């Protein structure tokens, strides 16, 4: 452990860059903890303050910039991919939508501190057409706030951190094993939470072909588009005749849903695993809908099948 700490001091700038860049790419790396530890080392005068800050800001800009470009290039499909591979629950797209719709460019600052959203905000900004200059300005500001906060925490609590490091150095291999166990527990908890969330939203789905047949039948179902405002701005197409209600709106008791009572309802979104549509379906079932089913694959599956769409 003593050799590990010595290595960290000698390569603090490189470690901060690598950890920050990995975190911005969405990897489960405790970059904030690395910055806090580095803040304590800064207080001891062993590391260059300017070098650490520049490394963290450059890593944030490079990582976020890659996702920003991908969002501009590939749009909403890329954000769905990000959430599919993320350890965070599949609500990350919807949370990212809400954040950037309500906060605009400042969402890039807020997203740094919201688990599961920090990777979604940059491609969302790109997909929604934020200018490169504006993105760079907000992202650099966000990186400075994020870096300064955690470095500052390390600086303020430097005495306590150095005491802990001294104990860990004496513990040697035991401390290293303990850190490894804590990391495994952290990843296991995140995975368990994801699985639990997926079980919560698990329910029967309806395919595009089945929905198409029902729409041509004698009693067509009510079709509801539960995408957020940002999602509809990125892709304004919708299934013909679909009504638009966000998940948040459907969850409000004040919303009149009498037209859905006693009817079959099909809901769709553009989120991974139809999570928002599944949550909305549960809301409608609880409020008297005869049957409420998420559309497998959402709007993307409908479009890919060659079925017609409409634009309001």
Q: What are 99-124's pLDDT values in tens digits?
A: 666 677 787 887 888 766 777 788 88
CA-based radius of gyration for the chain? 23
Distance between CA atoms of residues 69 and 125, nearest Å:
9
pLDDT digits (tens, 9 = 90+) for 260-299: 777 889 999 877 678 888 888 988 888 878 889 999 989 9
Q: What count of Cα atoms within 13 Å lies in the side-chain half-sphere of residue 279?
A: 20
* pLDDT band at residue 174 using 50, 70 and 90 as cut-offs: low
Examine the pLDDT at 34 and tell me if it is beyond 60: yes
Distance between CA atoms of residues 102 and 52, nearest Å:
32
Question: What pTM does this model have?
Answer: 0.65
Distance between CA atoms of residues 237 and 207, nearest Å:
19
Domains of the chain: 2-200 (no CATH), 208-311 (3.40.250.10)
Distance between CA atoms of residues 145 and 220, nearest Å:
52
Neighbouring CB atoms inside 10 A of 37's CB total 24
How confident is the prediction for the chain on average, in pLDDT?
81
What is the predicted pLDDT for the residue at 56?
Answer: 96
């Amino acid at each position: 452990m003593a050799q590990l700490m010595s290595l960290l001091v000698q390569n603090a700038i490189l470690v901060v860059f690598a950890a920050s860049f990995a975190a911005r790419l969405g990897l489960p790396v405790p970059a904030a903890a690395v910055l806090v530890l580095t803040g304590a080392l800064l207080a001891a005068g062993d590391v260059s303050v300017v070098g650490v800050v520049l490394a963290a800001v450059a890593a944030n800009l490079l990582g976020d910039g890659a996702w920003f470009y991908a969002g501009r290039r590939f749009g909403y499909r890329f954000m769905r991919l990000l959430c599919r591979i993320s350890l965070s629950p599949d609500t990350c797209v919807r949370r990212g939508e809400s954040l950037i719709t309500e906060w605009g460019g400042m969402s890039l600052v807020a997203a740094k501190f919201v688990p599961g959203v920090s990777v979604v905000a940059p491609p969302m900004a790109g997909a929604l057409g934020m200018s490169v200059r504006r993105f760079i300005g907000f992202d650099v500001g966000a990186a400075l706030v994020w870096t300064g906060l955690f470095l500052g925490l390390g600086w303020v609590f430097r005495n306590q951190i150095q005491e802990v490091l001294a104990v860990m150095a004496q513990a040697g291999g035991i401390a290293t094993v303990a850190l490894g166990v804590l990391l495994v527990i952290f990843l296991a908890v995140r995975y368990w939470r994801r699985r639990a969330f997926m079980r919560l939203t698990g329910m029967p789905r309806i395919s595009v072909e089945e929905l198409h047949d029902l729409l041509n039948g004698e009693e067509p179902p009510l079709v509801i588009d539960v995408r957020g405002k940002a999602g509809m701005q990125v892709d304004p197409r919708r299934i013909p005749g679909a009504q638009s209600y966000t998940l948040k709106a459907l969850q409000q008791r004040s919303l009149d849903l009498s037209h859905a009572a006693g009817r079959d309802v099909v809901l769709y979104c553009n989120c991974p695993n139809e999570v928002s549509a599944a949550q909305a379906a549960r809301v409608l079932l609880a409020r008297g809908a005869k049957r409420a089913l998420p559309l497998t694959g959402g709007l993307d599956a409908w479009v890919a099948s060659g079925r017609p769409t409409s634009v309001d």
